[in-house]
Structure 1
Amino acid sequence: MKRVVFRGGTLFDAESRCADPADVAVEDGRIVEVGTGLDGDEEVDCAGRGVLPGLIDCHVHVTMTSSDLFESVQQPFSLQFYEGARNMARTLAAGVTTVRDAAGADLGMRVAQERGLIAGPRMQISLNMLSQTGGHGDPWWPSTCVVDLLPPHPGRPPVVVDGPEEIRRKVRELVRAGADVIKAATSGGVVSGGAGPKIAHFRDDEIAMMVNEAAAAGLPVMAHAHGDGAKAAVRNGVRSIEHGHFLDDETLEMMAARGTWLVPTLSAGVGLRQAVEAGAGYPEHIVEKIKERTESSVRRAVEAGVPIAMGTDAPLYPHGENLLELELLVEQGMRPADALHAATLSAANLMGLGSSLGSLAPGKRADLVVVDGDPLDVRDLGKRVLAVYQDGRLVHAADRG
Structure 2
Amino acid sequence: MTRTVFRNGTLFDARARTTGRADVAVQDGWIVDVGSGLDGDVEVDCAGRGVLPGLIDAHVHLTMTGTDLFRAAQEPFSLQFYEGARNMAATLAAGVTTVRDAAGADLGMRVAQERGLVAGPRMQVSLNMLSQTGGHGDPWWPSTCVMDLLPSHPGRPPVVVDGPDEVRRTVRELVRAGADVIKVATSGGIVSSGAGPEVAHFRDDEIAMMVTEAAAAGRYVMAHASAAGAKAAVRNGVRSIEHGHQLDDETLAMMAERGIWLVPTLSSGLGLREALASGAMNLPDEIAAKIRFGADDTVRRAREAGVPIAMGTDAPLYPHGRNLTELELLVEHGLSPGEALHAGTLSAAELMGLGAELGSLEPGKRADLVLVDGDPLDVRGLGDRVHAVYQDGRAVLRDGAPVPAGV
Give TM-score scaled by structure 1 length.
0.99
Q: How does 1:90-239 map to 2 (within 5 A)?
A: 90-239=90-239
Deviation at 1:292, TM superposition (A): 3.1
Report the alpha carbon displacement of residue 399 of structure 1 after superposing the two structures with TM: 3.8
Distance 2:271 2:348 in 1: 22
Unaligned runs of 5+ in 1: none
Distance 2:302 2:3 in 1: 43
Letter in 1 for 2:328: E
Aligned-residue CA RMSD in angstroms?
Answer: 0.8
Report the CA distance between 1:260 and its aligned residue: 0.6
Tell whether the 8 Å contact from 2:50 to 2:372 is kept in structure 1 after alignment: yes
Give, as a single letter, the amino acid of the residue that structure 1 aligns with 2:306: G
The residue type paired with residue 320 of structure 2 is H
1:388 corresponds to: 389
Classify the secondary structure of the residue corresponding to 2:20: strand
SS state of the match for residue 33, structure 2? strand
Moved more, 288-297 or 346-355: 288-297
SS in 2 for 1:26: strand
Alignment of 1:36-75 (within 5 A): 36-75=36-75
What does residue 328 of structure 1 align with? Answer: 329
* 1:263-287 alpha-carbon deviations (Å, 9 max, x no partner): 0000000000011111111111100
Counterparts of 1:145 and 1:231, CA distance in 2: 32
CA contact (8 A) 1:186 1:223 kept: yes
Normalising by structure 2, we get a TM-score of 0.97
Could you report, residue by residue, the CA deviation over 1:95-120 in whole angstroms, capped at 9, with x for unpaired residues? 00000000000000000000000000
Tell me if structure 2 keeps the 8 A contact 1:69–1:147: no
For 1:257 and 1:346, locate their aligned partners in 2 and report how far apart those are by CA, in whole Å: 16
Separation in 2, partners of 1:398, 1:350: 31
* Count of aligned residue pairs for this structure pair: 400
Aligned counterparts of 2:315 and 2:400: Cα–Cα separation in 1: 24
Structure 1 partner of 2:11: 11
Please, which runs of 5 or more residues in structure 2 have no aligned partner? 402-407
Structure 1 residue 17 displacement after superposition: 1.0
Residue number in structure 2 paired with 1:314: 315
* AA matched with 2:74: Q
Give, in angstroms, the shift of residue 15 of structure 1: 1.1
How big is each residue's C-alpha offset from its partner over 1:49-107, in whole Å with a ceiling of 9 and x where there is no partner?
10000000000000000111111111111000000000000000000000000000000
Q: Which residue of 2 aligns with 1:379?
A: 380
**C-alpha contact 1:264 1:296 (8 A) present in aligned 2:** no
Question: Does structure 2 conserve the Cα–Cα contact (< 8 Å) formed by 1:183 and 1:222?
Answer: yes
Tell me the residue number matched to 1:359: 360
Check if 1:397 corresponds to 2:398. Answer: yes
Deviations 1:127-171 (A, max 9, x none): 000000000000001232342110001000010000000000000
* DSSP-derived class of the 1:145 partner: coil
Alpha-carbon separation, structure 2, partners of 1:164 and 1:210: 8
Provide the rounded CA distance (Å) in 2 between the counterparts of 1:270 and 1:196. 18
- Between the aligned partners of 1:82 and 1:175, the Cα distance in structure 2 is 24
CA deviation after TM superposition for structure 1 residue 326, in Å: 0.2
Give the counterpart letter for 2:353 in structure 1. G
Q: Counterpart amino acid of 2:17?
A: R
- Summarize the Cα distance change of 1:91–1:296 in structure 2 as closer, same or farther, 3 Å threshold: farther
Describe the shift of the 1:233–1:399 C-alpha distance in structure 2 as closer, same or farther (beyond 3 A): closer
CA distance in 1, matches of 2:239, 2:119: 29
SS at match of 2:219: coil
Deviation at 1:261, TM superposition (A): 0.3
| Deviation of 1:296 (Å) | 4.6
Partner of 1:160: helix, strand, or coil?
A: coil
Please state whether the residue corresponding to 2:242 is helix, strand or coil.
strand
Runs (4+) off by over 4 Å: none
Q: What is the Cα deviation at residue 288 of structure 1? A: 1.0
Deviations 1:189-213 (A, max 9, x none): 1100000100000000000000000
SS where residue 85 of structure 2 aligns? Answer: helix
1:303 corresponds in structure 2 to 304
Cα deviation digits, residues 204-223 of structure 1 (max 9, x gap):
00000000000000001000
Give the whole-Å Cα distance in 1 for the aligned partners of 2:297 and 2:334. 11
Distance 1:103 1:360 in 2: 29
Query: Aligned partners of 2:42, 2:398: CA distance in 1, in Å?
Result: 18
Q: Give me the whole-angstrom Cα distance separating, in 2, the residues matched to 1:96 and 1:66.
A: 19
Q: C-alpha distance in 1, partners of 2:125/2:22?
A: 35
Deviation at 1:19, TM superposition (A): 0.5
> Does the Cα contact within 8 Å between 1:266 and 1:296 map onto a contact in 2?
no
Amino acid at match of 1:321: R
- The residue number in structure 2 matching 1:369 is 370
Q: Distance in 1 between matches of 2:303 and 2:99?
A: 23
Counterpart CA distance in 1 for 2:400 and 2:252 is 44
C-alpha contact 2:221 2:240 (8 A) present in aligned 1 = yes
Which whole-Å CA distance do the structure 2 matches of 1:90 and 1:376 have between them? 23
Comparing 280-289 with 50-59, greater Cα deviation is found at 280-289
Alignment partner, residue 80 of structure 1: 80
Report the AA paired with residue 227 of structure 1.
Answer: A
Residue 122 of structure 1 aligns with an amino acid whose one-letter code is: R
Whether the 8 Å CA contact 2:386–2:400 is kept in 1: the answer is: no
Question: Aligned residues: percent identity?
Answer: 78
